[in-house]
Amino acid sequence: MNVLVAYATRHGATAGIAERIAATLRDHGVDADAVPVEEVSTVEEYDAVVLGGAAYMAHWLKDADRFAKRHESALKQRPVWLFSSGPLGTDEVDEKGRDVREAARPREFAELSELLQPRGEEVFFGAYDPEEKPIGLAERFTRKMPLPAGDFRDWERIDAWARQIARDVASAE
């Protein structure tokens, strides 16, 4: 089976997650390519798709959402998994007692879950480097907020999710 890991990223953290997912799939005998969504013209050559994007203020990057809608009919015909990256820090629960990943779930996932019936979805912690130039107005505003700086991606969790996808793909063959 051949899997496309398509992703939308702003500063590269989500690209790193997508590349790690593709590498883990390959390590488990699944052909996989990690490709930015803007470089994908068709998904027809792939048997399954993992689609990811960075999330900012509970919204998935528009490029990821547009990709899902542009390729909706083809995605409905294959197994699909969704992921996002975004929450920062290491706390699993916020000050209100909510699960951080659930609170950071992109709002677009509700509609996409109905449209695409994904086999799974995951929210991963992201990374933040305050030295990187902000992209867009929203990032300029958030730079004034006290955000935790660092790389908070949980590679063990990412690998475990990718291994589960590899098992699902193998059982579908």
Instruction: Report CA-CA distances (Å) from 54 to 45, 104, 144.
Output: 25, 11, 20
Quote the pLDDT of residue 86.
Answer: 86
Question: How far is the C-alpha of 21 from the C-alpha of 161, rounded, in Å?
Answer: 8
Quote the pLDDT of residue 6.
Answer: 98
Question: How far is the C-alpha of 119 from the C-alpha of 27, rounded, in Å?
Answer: 21
Can you spell out the DSSP letters for 3-45?
EEEEEE-SSSHHHHHHHHHHHHHHHTT-EEEEEEGGG-S--TT
Residue 172's pLDDT band, with cuts at 50, 70 and 90, is confident
Q: Is the pLDDT of residue 71 over 90?
A: yes
Per cent of the chain over pLDDT 90 is 71
Domain 2-172: give its CATH architecture. Answer: 3-Layer(aba) Sandwich (3.40)
Top pLDDT among 149 and 105 is at 105
Residue 48's pLDDT band, with cuts at 50, 70 and 90, is very high
Per-residue pLDDT, averaged over 93-110, amounts to 92
Highest mean pLDDT among 77-81, 93-97, 148-152: 77-81
Q: Is the pLDDT of residue 125 over 70?
A: yes
What is the value of pTM for the model shown? 0.92
